[in-house]
Amino acid sequence: MNKDRKLIIAGNWKMNKTVAEALDLVHGLKRELASVKEVDVVVCPPFTALSEVSRAILDSNIRLGAQNMSEHSGGAYTGEIAAVMLKEFSVRYVVLGHSERRQYQKESNALIAAKAAAALTAALKPIICIGETLQEREAGATEKVLEGQLRGSLASLNKDQMEEAILAYEPVWAIGTGKNATADQAQAAHAFIRRTLAGMFDEPTARRARIQYGGSVKPANARELMRQPDVDGALVGGASLELRSFSDIVKNSI
C-alpha cells in the first residue's frame, strides 16, 4: 500500500453522550490510543460536551470536531452555533451536510457550501458528507447523485480551500444499518469522487484530497476498507460510541 495521505479516523457521536459519558469515553481513548501516531484520530461529541472534552484531550493526540455549525458568523439566529464559538474549544474539524441533516433539517447543497466557506474562513476543516440512498443506487444513479452533491456542496471552494477540506462518502443505505459498502463499492465510489474533483479543481488537488468512508464501519471491516487506495479514513457512527470498538477500528486501520 502506498498512501501519502495520513488516515483520519473520526468518530461522529451524533446525539449521544452526556458530559459524564463523553469524558468516560475520551479518557479511555487517551489510554488506548496514546501510542498511535500513524493516524489522526478525531472525536465529534455533541455541542454540550465540547468544552469538557476539549479540556480532557489537551494533553493527547486526539483532536476535536463538531457535528454542525451555522453559515453565519453571529447574530439573530436562535439555536445556532457560529464557527468562532467552536474555536473557543479548540475545535479543528466540523462535520457538514451529514445525510441525517440533509434529511431531517432539509439541508441543501447550497447551504452546505455556505457553511463550508464559513468554516474555512474560521480555519476549521470541514468534513463534507455526500452519499446516495438505496433507491438512487438501485436506479443506477449513484454517480449522478455524487457528482451533483460534490458540485453543489463544494461550489464555494477554491483550490487552496479544497486542500483544507475533507470529504466523507457515506452511502445512506449503509448508515446505522450494519450493512457496510463492500471494499469494492467504497473504492469505486471514492475513485469516482476523486476523478470528479480532478475535473472541478485539478489533478494534484484531487490526488491530495482526503476522502473518508462512513457507513457501518466496524473493527472487522476497517482494515479492508482502509486498504483501498482511494479511501483515506473513516467517519464512524455507532462503533465510535464504545471504547473497545472505536479503538480497535483505529488500530486495525494502521
Residues near ligand 13P (CB under 6 A) = 12, 98, 170, 175-176, 214-217, 235-239
From 33, 53, 46, 43, select the one nearest 11 (Cα to Cα): 43
Select 12 or 247, whichever has its Cβ closest to ligand 13P. 12
- Minimum distance, C-beta of residue 219 to ligand 13P, in the bound complex (Å): 12
Catalytic residue among 71, 98, 100, 190: 98
Phi/psi-derived region of residue 81, left when phi > 0, alpha when psi is between -120 and 50, beta in every other case: beta
3-state secondary structure of 170: coil
User: Looking at beta carbons only, is 45 or 237 nearer to ligand 13P?
Assistant: 237
The answer to whether the Cα torsion of 143, 144, 146, 147 is positive or negative is positive
Q: Which is nearer to ligand 13P, 101 or 194 (CB)?
A: 101
CB neighbourhood size of 132 (10 A):
23
Read off the C-alpha cell for 252: 486495525
Residue whose CB is less far from ligand 13P, 114 or 239:
239
Cβ neighbours around 84 below 10 Å, total: 14
Is 170 known to be catalytic?
yes
Is 52 assigned a catalytic role?
A: no
Of the residues 100, 132, 170, 190, which is catalytic? 170
Residue 170 CB, shortest distance to ligand 13P, in Å, is 5
Residue 216 CB, shortest distance to ligand 13P, in Å, is 4
Give min distance, CB of 46 to ligand 13P, in A. 13
Per-residue cell: 118:
464559513
Nearest to 201 by CA among 158, 253, 254, 150: 158
Which residues are catalytic, by number? 98, 170
